[in-house]
Amino acid sequence: MKKLSILLIAVMLTTCVVEAKDYAKMQIKEMKHAQKYGTTQKVLQNQTQNTEHTVSAVSGIKDPKIMKFGDYDVISKTAYDGKIKKDEVKYEEYAKQLGKKHSKYYTTQADAEDFYLVYRVAEKLIRANKLDYINWRICIYKDVENPNAYSSSVNHVAISTALLDTFRDNDDALAFVIGHEMGHALLGHQKRIGQLVVKMRKMQNMGKMGSPAAAASYLGMKKKFLIDSKNMEYAADVEGAKLALHAGYNLNNASDVLTFLSTFDIDREFRSTHPSGEKRLENLNENKKYFPAEWKEMGEYNIYNSDVMPVQLSSDRKSIVISAPKEKLSSEQYYNPETMDEVYARFGYMYYVNGEFEKSLDNFKELFKINQTNASAYLYASYAAEYLYKNTNNSKYLKLAKEYAQKAKSLEPGNKYITEQVECL
Ligand SMILES: [Zn+2]
């Protein structure tokens, strides 16, 4: 008994001494972590590091601006501003629907205000991008803790109150969040994930029933599933940013969402289906450098030429419905995600105006493997090869420049820029 109490005291004494000695050290150690993880620093640092979405074009470079990224006319600022003013009146009018009291489901004023906030942002995204082929449903669900959003079907977007409140005063960020979820739908991610899961379960069950080959295959599929899921997140970020840019939102403010996410995701990177906020931010910043400024003009054209879409409370009273117009048009008249050739042509062009000629040429070469009909692309490929020849003096580039110019000419013999390029070489 005596022995035991002595031991106790001894232990207590050492603990006390160690603790007392370490408070300052512990604090210093913790502050080191704070330098790395502190949210204020991180959020503000990332914001200032953001780049403009347009690339700084190399001055004096040949660019007759004949690369097309869609069919539209440029709307003058006065005309566009006038249209937006008129639209504002309509928004107010339609918003009255949201404050309406229902006999069965009472809608509070607070709900109506939240819905109005989300309605205006989503409506702009829909109109600017011609997404009005279907009724979109936007839900605000009560979650005070987790800033989150998801899309569960092809026309449904849900945002938590925590996320809405975090970005209440940042329409650009809300546009990016809604755009990201719409992006999942537009890119068909729900269906893709569904199919992957079905295949995975099948293998998992066969594995459990005693097939070692199926068990191994299941593990391989699971690994691939996690990679695919992350890639889908990156793609939805890019798609969401595209939609937001078309609707005139500022992508620097939009990426506040990813900056915010990067301050609190823990070691989910390897386990979960989502990449870290940091990696998503890097992916978005890199991609938005190659978004053409024309996308904003195209969005303005679409907004200018369409009417404000009415909003209603949905049957579940937790969402709003933004209604599609009655007449149905063909699928070409609505938004479609970029095709492979469009992506190659865009990167080819954007790398070119950014002075990254080698990368430009690589993308054009990929484009020409699948599509040999784009005269403008051949012309820009010829320009890129010509600059590479000037920079390196390697005759293979001159040969390539001539070849591409000739190809462009055979596709569009009447084009004066192409003729000029052929003669110049
Ligand atoms: Zn997502």
Question: How do residues 168-202 score in pLDDT, each as one tens digit?
Answer: 999 999 999 999 999 999 999 988 888 889 999 99
pLDDT of residue 176: 96
- Between the CA of 249 and the centroid of ligand 1 the distance, in Å, is 19
State the distance from the centre of ligand 1 to the C-alpha of 159, rounded, in angstroms. Answer: 12
- CA of 227 from ligand 1 middle (Å) equals 14
- Ligand 1 centre to CA of 112 (Å) is 26
Q: Which of 331, 330, 343 is nearest to 374 (CA)?
A: 343
Say how many Å lie between the CA of residue 16 and the centre of ligand 1. 49
CA of 294 to the centre of ligand 1 (A): 26
Distances (CA, A) of 79 to 71, 86, 124, 299, 300: 19, 11, 17, 14, 10
User: What pLDDT score was predicted for residue 46?
Assistant: 64
For the record, the structure tokens of 279 come out as 């990696």
Domains of the chain, residue spans:
77-333, 340-424
Does the structure show a pLDDT above 90 at 331? no
d(CA 277, CA 258): 5
Calculate how far, in angstroms, residue 120's C-alpha sits from the geometric centre of ligand 1: 22
Angle CA 209–191–126, to nearest 5: 160
Residue 43 in tokens: 């959020």
- 82-109 average pLDDT score: 79
Distance CA 262, CA 284 (A): 13
Task: Give tens-digit pLDDT for 53-64.
Answer: 445 566 778 999
CATH of domain 340-424: 1.25.40.10
> To 5 degrees, how large is the angle CA 338–CA 251–CA 356?
65
- Rounded distance from Cα 198 to ligand 1 centre (Å): 20
- The predicted pLDDT at position 104 comes to 54
Q: How far is the CA of 418 from the centre of ligand 1 (A)?
A: 43
Query: How many other CB atoms sit within 10 Å of the CB of residue 270?
Result: 7
Buried residues in 362-389 as b, exposed as e (16+ CB within 10 A): bbbebbbeeeeebbbbbbbbbbbbbbbb
User: Distance, CA 122 to ligand 1 centroid (Å)?
Assistant: 17
CA of 340 relative to ligand 1 center, distance in Å: 22
**Confidence check: pLDDT of 1 > 50:** no
Q: Give the Å distance between the CA of 148 and the centre of ligand 1.
A: 10
CA of 351 to the centre of ligand 1 (A): 28
CA of 61 to the centre of ligand 1 (A): 38
130 CA from centroid of ligand 1 (Å): 21
Task: Using the mean position of ligand 1's atoms as its centre, give its distance from the Cα of residue 185 in Å.
Answer: 10
Distance 213 CA to ligand 1 centre (A): 32
**Residue 2 reports pLDDT greater than 60:** no
Ligand 1 centroid to residue 180 C-alpha, Å: 6
**Ligand 1 mean position, distance from CA 13 (Å):** 53
Q: Which residue has the higher pLDDT, 371 or 105?
A: 371
Say how many Å lie between the CA of residue 319 and the centre of ligand 1.
19
Q: What is the mean pLDDT of residues 353-367?
A: 95
Q: Of 118, 151, 46, 154, give the one whose Cα is nearest residue 313.
A: 118
Spell out a b/e string for 231-255, using b for 16 or more CB atoms within 10 Å of the CB, else e.
ebbbbbbbbbbbbbbbbbbbbbbbb
Average pLDDT, rounded, for the chain: 86
* CA 216 to ligand 1 center in whole angstroms: 28
- Phi then psi for residue 381, to 5 deg, are -65, -35
How far, in Å, from the CA of 54 to the mean position of ligand 1? 25
With b for 16 or more beta-carbon neighbours within 10 A and e for fewer, the 408-423 pattern comes to bbebbeebebbeebee
Pairing of strands 319-322, 136-141: antiparallel
Question: How large is the angle between the packed helices 212-246 and 189-208, nearest 10 degrees?
Answer: 170
Q: What is the pLDDT of residue 237?
A: 94
Using the mean position of ligand 1's atoms as its centre, give its distance from the Cα of residue 278 in Å.
Answer: 15
- Measured in Å, residue 268 CA sits from the centre of ligand 1 at 14
Q: What percent of the chain has pLDDT over 70?
A: 87
Residue 228 CA to ligand 1 center (angstroms) comes to 12
> Which pLDDT score, from 0 to 100, does residue 69 have?
86
pLDDT at site 302: 96
Model pLDDT for residues 209-255, shown as the tens digit of each residue: 989 999 999 999 999 898 888 899 999 999 999 999 999 999 998 88
Residue 3 has pLDDT above 50, yes or no: no
Furthest C-alpha separation in the chain: 107
